[in-house]
Amino acid sequence: MIRQFELVERVKSYDPDADEDLLNRAYVYSMKAHGSQKRASGDPYFSHPVEVAYMLTEFKLDTASIATALLHDTVEDTEATLEDIEKYFGKEIASLVDGVTKLTRIETKSENAKQAENFRKLLVAMSEDLRVLMVKLADRLHNMRTLKYIKEPQKRQRIARETLDIYATLAERIGVRKIKEELQDLAFAELYPEARESIMKRLDYLREQDKAIVEKTEKHLIKTLQETGIENATVVGREKRPYSIWKKMETKNVSFEQLSDIIAFRILTETVPQCYQVLGAIHSAYHTIPGHFKDYISTPKNNGYKSLHTAVIGPGQHRIEVQIRTKEMHDIAEYGVAAHWSYKQRRDYNKDGKQYRWIRELLEILEKSSNPEEFLEHTKLEMYHDQVFCFTPKGDIIALPRGATPVDFAYAVHSGVGDSCVGAKINGRIVPLRTQLKNGDQVDIITSKAQTPSPTWERFVVTGKARSEIRKFIRTQQRNEYINLGKAILNKTFKQEGEELTDKMLESIAEKFNKKTPDDIYAEVGEGLINRIAVFEMLFPDRKLASIQDKKGSLLSRLRKKQTAFSTAMPIKGLIPGMAIHFGKCCHPIPGDKIVGIVTTGKGITIHTTSCETLENFAETPERWIDVAWDTSTGIQHVARIKITVLHETGGLATVTNVIAKELGNITNLKILSRSSDFFELLIDMEVKDIRHLNAIIASLRGKGSVQSVERYYG
């Protein structure tokens, strides 16, 4: 275990002005507080905070951070209180300890929800001061080093998964490569031991084949640089870590032998111009591997990482990766935010620079998410992707995950831009909003004050920020729709019984439904989660709803006898924007069909034809039925399904597709139900304008000799 004077001397070695008295007091206080507590390994518990503190000295953190590391478990695991910490060590350290303290046990429904809530709290704490995250990462690293002492395999797996998913990624986001790589490898060994063992054997074999490969390549690179007049560059070779190799094999779907960067070499220079001079020398001397050059100096990563990356066929015909950077860039690549503190003379770097915009964006997602688990889902989307770099018309760089679309770009610029986005230009050309962006694209977002987020955007956006904003809007609009629907249902019910419903009446029974406001009750009635009968009988316990008796069994038959369009129908387009609408796959309604809407719990409104057999299931819940009609002014295409039997002959299928195309139908899906030597039986889904359009296509198909039969299909 690290002794007191060793820790103090270590801090003084890089910070002569460190508060020695503070460090000594924190060491002694923590040792006494933890007393005889033991870890799972059998070691004194106090050894853990000391090791965490010593780890942080490698990153040259300030005295307050080291003291926080020594004290970080005292409030949670001993009799010490936060007030005690503030009394003996001051407000700054008390605030840091409060942020990094092990989070209190949260009573939640699932382990995922607990993890999500813990992460939410960590995010809030680290947004106040990034030193909290540095201490937390060191704490997790030491716990991972001693993970083998935990006896329960499931607990070890959970901790390893959380480490890989959250803490290693956070370490990468603040640029601390040393912690990130060790966390990844320790978690990798626990989660995928066989895969790691396989990669380790391959690395051993590679070393056996040429034990001096790294040394030989280093000498060859130095000689190449000297021949081009570059004398003061440093060359260092290293093997890629097992987890990084496995991840690249998995994501790129390549074999171990196909990787170009199993062995990587770093070339360190004094200045940025020298970096490009070295790059020219390397490309002149060796064959480059296409598609492997990346310039992170002109376009740094979000965490501040800068370097030139290239891959070449090096000495001995080995595929190698070469990273070229200045010594300052190298320190930042290794130590991340800690190096920034050093280079910035320890001024507050917490909110300095674009690379920490992601923290603010995660806080915005936190505000928009409806629950901790949804927040964790959106956060993973925000954190776990490779990036593409795009430009605004003014030349500002926006970093986005691969697969991002103009909608993601719009929300990255500003939430208001995303909400009002109606179109986009990429490199001057108007493109669909679902178009995937590429490196270097210039994106110009077209906005309109009349626009609102479309629920369909959620299907193709990839950033957590965009998805959380869209979901928030949809939730708000759906709730308003459900409130209005619930009010209509309850007011109609009470009116039929000769009563008038007021909000005060609902306030009196809100608690019995575990609700806070009348709107909460209206919303759940509208969504179908609370029955209107239950509300009435809760207010009038001695009465039964008389009007419900003549509803059962008769509503369905009356509806099907209607021969005219609904006179008081609500056009589908007229629903509040964001209200989820689905078309029944049981009947595939299209304009021209008589339709009805059914409120479906958790899904919004499902549109069915009035002849759909599925409606029998809702005969006893008339409150869920809504009169709707088509708004034919929209010009939207709808999917209809036909069943067709075609002669098994050359050109038979071509005849069918040509007829549909000439009639301006668009086939979206085709399925062969059966085939014989004489016939094919097909199901075809196609987009049509309305029932007339569909009937025209069916008529044209029936006129072809190769088509034996065709009919609309409702299955």
CB 572 within 8 A of CB 631: yes
Task: Render pLDDT for 92-143 as a digit per residue (tens, 0 to 9).
Answer: 898 888 877 644 333 333 455 555 555 555 555 555 567 888 888 899 999 9
Query: Above 50 in pLDDT, residue 354?
Result: no
CB 325 within 8 A of CB 269: yes
Task: Render pLDDT for 377-397 as a digit per residue (tens, 0 to 9).
Answer: 444 444 444 567 788 888 777
What 3-state class would DSSP assign to 417?
helix
Q: Which structural domain, as residue segments, surrounds residue 650?
A: 637-712
Determine the longest span between alpha carbons in the chain, in angstroms. Answer: 100
Share of the chain above pLDDT 90, in %: 12
Q: Say whether 210 is catalytic.
A: no
- What tokens appear for 617 in the block? 């299931």
Sequence-separated (6 or more) residues with CB below 8 Å from residue 171? 137, 177, 179, 180, 183, 336
Task: Render pLDDT for 186-203 as a digit per residue (tens, 0 to 9).
Answer: 999 998 888 888 888 888
Count of the separate structural domains present in the chain: 5
Bridging pattern class, strands 604-609 and 595-600: antiparallel
CB 63 within 8 A of CB 23: yes
Query: Above 90 in pLDDT, residue 249?
Result: no
The pLDDT confidence band at residue 216, using thresholds 50, 70 and 90, is confident
Query: Above 70 in pLDDT, residue 276?
Result: yes
CB 612 within 8 A of CB 588: no
Query: Above 80 in pLDDT, residue 271?
Result: yes
Sequence-separated (6 or more) residues with CB below 8 Å from residue 117? 103, 106, 108, 372
Residue 546 is classified by DSSP as S
Task: Please check whether residues 323 and 257 belong to one and the same domain.
Answer: yes
The span from the CA of 424 to the CA of 401, in Å, is: 18
CB 99 within 8 A of CB 118: no
- What tokens appear for 646 in the block? 């075609």
Task: Please check whether residues 263 and 396 belong to one and the same domain.
Answer: no
Q: Which amino acid is at 226?
A: Q
Residue 622 is classified by DSSP as G
Instruction: Write down the catalytic residue from 15, 58, 76, 364.
Output: 76
Task: Please check whether residues 8 and 107 belong to one and the same domain.
Answer: yes
Please report whether residue 595 resides in a domain: no
Neighbours of 201 (CB within 10 A): 10
The span from the CA of 336 to the CA of 177, in Å, is: 7
Task: Please check whether residues 171 and 233 belong to one and the same domain.
Answer: no
The span from the CA of 600 to the CA of 526, in Å, is: 10
**Average pLDDT score over the chain:** 78
Task: Please check whether residues 225 and 331 belong to one and the same domain.
Answer: yes
Output the CA–CA distances (angstroms, integers) from residue 159 to 147, 166, 183, 406, in the order listed. 8, 10, 11, 37
Q: Say whether 9 is catalytic.
A: no
- What tokens appear for 262 in the block? 């199993």
Task: Please check whether residues 85 and 181 belong to one and the same domain.
Answer: yes
Task: Please check whether residues 338 and 476 belong to one and the same domain.
Answer: no
Q: Which residue has the tokens 């994501």?
A: 251
Instruction: Write down the catalytic residue from 77, 295, 497, 663.
Output: 77
The span from the CA of 671 to the CA of 337, in Å, is: 56
Q: Which of 409, 547, 574 is nearest to 481 (CA)?
A: 574
Query: Above 70 in pLDDT, residue 260?
Result: no
Q: Which of 413, 429, 457 is the last residue of a domain?
A: 457
Per-residue pLDDT, averaged over 535-564, amounts to: 59
Share of the chain above pLDDT 70, in %: 79
The pLDDT confidence band at residue 349, using thresholds 50, 70 and 90, is very low
Please report whether residue 673 resides in a domain: yes
